[in-house]
């Protein structure tokens, strides 16, 4: 990614600096030049008026890169508050100062306080002789099952055995899809390559059953059979569907998974934020616990299809303060990455 993003403003300012050949009618050559440069360079305190035109451009730029509109506004507002009254160094422009502050703010957003280290947490669960449980949730059609299979592959590659719990008991074909993934994963990692140990197995009870009950049985089975990780696939549900959201809250409350992952598409900036906010709200509203379990982290899918419009990553982490744990970057089991915050910010700032 190219960090050398130069806005029109900066280009203009450079022209001003390099092109002092147009004297002002009132003040003669040098006076005119410094008149033009005033407000752009020199040791002066930044005011809101200085920053507003630059921030307006930055806001539009972020929205064009798929950052949710209200978040772009809030981001620019926080940068303005941080910089207001700050003394600028000689020969720094308003644009470069604002841009630098925005860049730092974006990197900070993408590196939340709580990092999710799945491999470390799985090993920790192993020490306590219990499986590490991950529940996947999200709306329909975002690639939950496919990314669950990718994460299975990644865990197996790291030497952990996986039980996949088929708790999408609504969608026709959901169990068959997981069965196909399990078969493929077993072909890639046959027991004979792992000392006779089955590295991945599907736990399913067909359709129309209570998903929370199936998850509970699967976790108990995994504990008895010595599986390291249980990955729970749930039915895709729209964030406004109250009965299904209640069922998801129940599944999470009853089974207390170690990690609740929200699977969302990198393509949809504002829509993904709406989904996430409503999922968290529904989990809080429908939870039976005093302190409800909400979403712990995000899997961002179809990241390879968005070019540099990476704004959804910022929107989702900003709104939840939760990290993006995995990024889906293609169709094969290997196409799973962790998020490189600096690269994402570079893509965001690129003109």
253 lies in some domain? yes
Q: Is residue 205 part of a domain?
A: yes
Residue 167 and residue 276 share a domain: yes
Task: Kindly tell me if the per-residue pLDDT of 131 is higher than 50.
Answer: yes
Do 47 and 189 belong to one domain?
no
Final residue of a domain: which of 56, 80, 110?
110
On whether residue 323 sits in a domain, the answer given is yes
**What's the pLDDT score for residue 183?**
98
Does pLDDT of 47 surpass 50? yes
CATH number at residue 222: 3.40.50.300
pTM beyond 0.75, yes or no: yes
Question: Does 270 score more than 80 pLDDT?
Answer: no
The answer as to whether 1 is a domain residue is: no
- Residue 92, pLDDT score: 79
84, part of any domain:
yes
pLDDT in tens, 188-236: 999 999 999 999 999 999 998 999 999 999 999 999 999 999 999 999 9
Between CA 61 and CA 351 the distance in angstroms is 8
Q: 132 lies in a domain? A: yes
Residue 349, in any domain of the structure: no
Rounded to the nearest 10 degrees, what angle do helices 94-110 and 341-349 cross at? 140
What is the per-residue pLDDT for 41?
52
Query: In a 10 Å sphere around its CB, with 0-12 CB exposed, 13-18 middle and 19+ buried, how is residue 307 labelled?
Result: exposed
Whether residue 290 contacts residue 330, with contact meaning beta carbons closer than 8 Å, is answered with no
Instruction: Tell me, yes or no, whether 99 and 173 share the same domain.
Output: no
pLDDT in tens, 75-121: 999 999 999 998 887 777 889 999 999 999 999 999 877 789 999 99
List pLDDT tens digits, range 328-340. 999 999 999 998 8
Mean pLDDT of the chain: 86
If asked whether residues 198 and 317 sit together in one domain, one would say yes
Per mean pLDDT, which range of 39-53, 122-136, 219-233, 287-301 is the poorest?
A: 39-53
One domain for residues 124 and 233: yes
Q: Is residue 241 located within the same domain as residue 178?
A: yes
Same domain (yes/no): 280, 138: yes
The answer to whether position 346 is within a domain reads no
Same domain, 224 and 103: no
Q: Where does a domain end: 91, 110, 129? A: 110
**pLDDT attached to residue 8:** 43
HEC letters along the chain: CCCCCCCHHHHHHHHHHHCCCCCECCCHHHHHHHHHHCCCCCCCECCHHHHHHHHHHHHHHHHHCCCCHHHHHHHHHHHHHHHCCCECCCCCCHHHHHHHHHHHHHHHHHCCCCCCCHHHHHHHHHHCCCCEEEEEECCCCCCHHHHHHHHHHHHHHCCCCEEEEEECCCCCCHHHHHHHHHHHHHHHCCHHHHCCCCCEEEECCCCCCCHHHHHHHHHHHHHHHCCCEEEEEECCCCCCCHHHHHHHHHHHHHHCCCEEEEEEECCCHHHHHHHHHHHHHHHHHHCCCCCCCCCCEEEEECHHHCCCCCHHHHHHHHHHCCCEEEEECCCCCCCEECCCHHHHHHHHHCC
> Based on the structure, what is the number of domains in the chain?
2
CATH code, domain carrying 38: 1.20.120
Residue 201 phi, psi dihedral angles, 5° rounding = -145, 150
Percent of the chain exceeding pLDDT 70 equals 87
Greater pLDDT, 66 or 188 = 188
Domain of 41? 8-110
Do 221 and 161 fall into the same domain? yes
As a whole number of angstroms, the distance between CA 94 and CA 85 comes to 12
Same domain, 97 and 196: no
- Quote the pLDDT of residue 266: 85
For residue 13, the model assigns a pLDDT of 41
Whether residues 32 and 122 fall in one domain: no
Rounded to an integer, what distance in angstroms lies between the CA atom of residue 146 and that of residue 132?
20
Residue 351 contacts residue 62 (beta carbons within 8 Å): no
Can you read off the two tokens belonging to residue 212?
């929370």
Higher pLDDT, 337 or 292: 337
Write down the pLDDT at residue 40.
52
Domain boundary at 66, 89, 110, which?
Answer: 110
The better pLDDT of the pair 309, 119 is held by 119
User: What is the predicted pLDDT for the residue at 164?
Assistant: 98
Give the pLDDT confidence score for residue 305 in this predicted structure. 86
Same domain for 71 and 203: no
Partners of 136 in the β-ladder = 233, 261
Residue 42 clears pLDDT 80, i.e. is over it: no
Q: What is the pLDDT of residues 153-183, one digit of tens each?
A: 999 999 999 999 999 988 889 999 999 999 9
């Amino acid at each position: 990614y190219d960090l050398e993003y130069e806005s029109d403003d900066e280009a203009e300012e450079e022209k001003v600096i390099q092109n002092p050949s147009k004297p002002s009618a009132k003040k003669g050559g040098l006076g005119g030049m410094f008149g033009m440069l005033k407000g752009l360079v020199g040791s002066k305190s930044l005011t809101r008026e200085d920053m507003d035109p630059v921030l307006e451009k930055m806001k539009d730029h972020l929205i064009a890169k798929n950052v949710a509109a209200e978040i772009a506004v809030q981001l620019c507002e926080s940068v303005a508050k941080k910089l207001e009254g700050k003394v600028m160094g000689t020969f720094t422009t308003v644009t470069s100062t604002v841009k630098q502050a925005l860049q730092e703010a974006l990197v900070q957003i993408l590196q939340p306080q709580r990092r999710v280290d799945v491999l470390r947490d799985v090993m920790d669960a192993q020490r306590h002789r219990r499986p590490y449980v991950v529940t996947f949730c999200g709306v329909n059609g975002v690639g939950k099952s496919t990314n669950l299979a990718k994460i299975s592959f990644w865990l197996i590659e790291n030497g952990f055995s996986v039980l996949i719990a088929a708790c999408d008991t609504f969608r026709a074909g959901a169990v068959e899809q997981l069965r196909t993934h399990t078969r493929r994963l077993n072909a890639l990692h046959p027991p004979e390559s792992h000392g006779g140990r089955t590295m991945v197995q599907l736990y399913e009870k067909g359709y129309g059953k209570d998903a929370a009950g199936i998850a509970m049985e699967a976790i108990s089975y995994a504990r008895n059979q010595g599986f390291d990780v249980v990955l729970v696939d749930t039915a895709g549900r729209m964030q406004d569907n109250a009965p299904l959201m209640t069922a998801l809250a129940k599944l999470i409350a009853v089974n207390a998974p170690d990690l609740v992952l929200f699977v969302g598409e990198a393509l949809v900036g504002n829509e993904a934020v709406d989904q996430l906010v409503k999922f968290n709200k529904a989990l809080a509203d429908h939870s039976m616990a005093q302190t409800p379990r909400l979403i712990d982290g995000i899997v961002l899918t179809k990241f390879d299809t968005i070019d540099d419009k990476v704004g959804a990553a910022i929107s989702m982490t900003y709104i939840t303060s939760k990290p993006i744990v995995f990024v889906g970057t293609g169709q094969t089991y290997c196409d799973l990455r962790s998020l490189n915050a600096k690269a994402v910010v570079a893509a965001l700032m690129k003109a």
